Amino acid sequence: MRQAYYNGIVYTGNQVLTHVAVLADGYQVLDIVPQDAIPEGFQQIDVQGNHIAPGLVDLQIYGGNGKLFSLYPDVSSLQATEQYSKEGGALYFQPTVATHEPALMEKALAAYRQYRDAGGQAAIGVHWEGPFLNPQKRGAHLEKYIRRLQKDEAKQLAQYHDALRMITLAPECCDAACVEILLQAGIRVSAGHSAATYAQAMQAFSQTGIRLATHLFNAMSPLQTREPGLAGAILDHPQVYASIIADGIHVHPANIRLSKAIMAERLFLITDAVEENKQGSSYIYLRQPDRFVNQEGTLAGSTLTMLKAVAFCVEQVGIPLDEALRMASWYPAKAIGLAHQIGLLQPGYRSGVIVFDKHFHLLHRSV
């Protein structure tokens, strides 16, 4: 049923409005009208002064609601992750698979296709985080699965472009020709889990056209006095977007504030959220009160939702709410090439609508 959300503060992504109503039909944003001019045929939802915003967009999440898509990639895991994402304000998400054997990573693509062909809309393609990483910066990824990307495999992966939307790789461990094959196929390539020098990173950004980086500051060569590393290159390159995990554990809030001041709209939020897994011989994720760790105690994921990440940016970093919302909706949409479809409350967009209160609790969503 078509819905009209009114009596709230509306964050369109371009403006902050009051005394208006947002008209929506599921994901479709139909119009924004004066709240005393809501057409007939709409379910009217009085949000009682709370916040109305476009659906948030999470480009890195491994599972949720008891299911871990990264290890058990099937439609039920996708559906559980979708529910977790939506409960946290993200009406779109990019299910992510950590470095693993090829058969499992390809199974994730098949599961996504099955989900999509059955009408699933929230998942917007699969993100492979690996396996083409630098072992020196593997973090919680298993070294036994890490390998170099070869040209023949790059050509094969290019054929998966309908399901494989993003690959995180270490640019210093991949030939530029391989990266170019992926980019030409429409697969987004993100630099991450990398020990690249500043010069190597800038060369990859400038010559191959990589325009993304995965979880700024985590699992990458750091900014140092005489070697800026990958982190410094990301800050310095004017066209590179980067995700960041805003939970106060992965990155100090001062580093979020500093990078935001430099990068502006190039910095966007992800959850990097996982789900507990105590079984199997590969990835073990153990839930702590505010994070996940592996069996060695290495930080392995967050307990974030996208609304929690927005809240952290507002309350702990000092970013204004309208800008923090853009970091969770409009900017990731731009980074992934969907800026013309999602991320704004604008007629013709398929952003969906969320409503949340001053404590960042989700009250309503249009899907």
* pLDDT at residue 279 is higher than 90: no
Contact 122, 82 (CB under 8 A): yes
Count, residues in the chain = 367
Residue 351, judged by CB atoms within 10 A of its CB (0-12, 13-18, 19+), counts as buried
* pLDDT at residue 295 is higher than 90: no
Residue 296 pLDDT grade (very low, low, confident, very high; cuts 50, 70, 90): confident
pLDDT number for residue 48: 98
Rounded-to-integer distance, Cα 102 and Cα 183, Å: 20
What is the number of alpha carbons within 13 Å of residue 248 lying toward its C-beta? 10
Amino acid at residue number 317: V
Q: What is the pLDDT of residues 85-125, one digit of tens each?
A: 999 999 999 999 999 999 999 999 999 999 999 999 999 99
Residue ranges of domains in the chain, CATH in brackets = 3-53+349-365 (2.30.40.10), 56-335 (3.20.20.140)
pLDDT number for residue 193: 98
C-alpha dihedral sign at 169, 70, 119, 45: negative
The helix/strand/coil state of 175 is: coil
* pLDDT at residue 150 is higher than 90: yes
Cα end-to-end span (Å), the chain: 10
Q: What is the β-pairing status of strands 164-169 and 126-129? A: parallel
Contact 8, 49 (CB under 8 A): yes
Q: What is the β-pairing status of strands 188-191 and 51-54? A: unpaired
Q: What's phi and psi for 194, nearest 5 deg?
A: -135, 145
* pLDDT at residue 298 is higher than 90: no
Q: What is the pLDDT of residues 229-251, one digit of tens each?
A: 999 999 999 999 999 999 999 99
Contact 34, 20 (CB under 8 A): yes
Residue 216 pLDDT grade (very low, low, confident, very high; cuts 50, 70, 90): very high
Mean pLDDT of the residues in the chain: 96
Residue positions annotated with a catalytic role: 272
Instruction: Write out the H or E segment, with its range, that includes residue 292.
Output: strand 292-293
Query: What is the DSSP code string of 50-119?
Result: -EEEEPEEEEEE-EETTEETTTS-SHHHHHHHHHHHHHTTEEEEEEEEES--HHHHHHHHHHHHHHHHTT
Cβ neighbours of residue 80 closer than 8 Å, sequence gap 6 or more = 63, 64, 65, 66, 67, 69
pLDDT number for residue 280: 77
Rounded-to-integer distance, Cα 165 and Cα 202, Å: 23
CA-closest candidate to residue 156, choices 220, 109, 215, 100:
109
pLDDT number for residue 1: 81
Residue in this structure with the two tokens 């966007």, named with its chain if needed: 268
Contact 94, 67 (CB under 8 A): no
Q: What is the mean pLDDT of residues 165-179?
A: 96
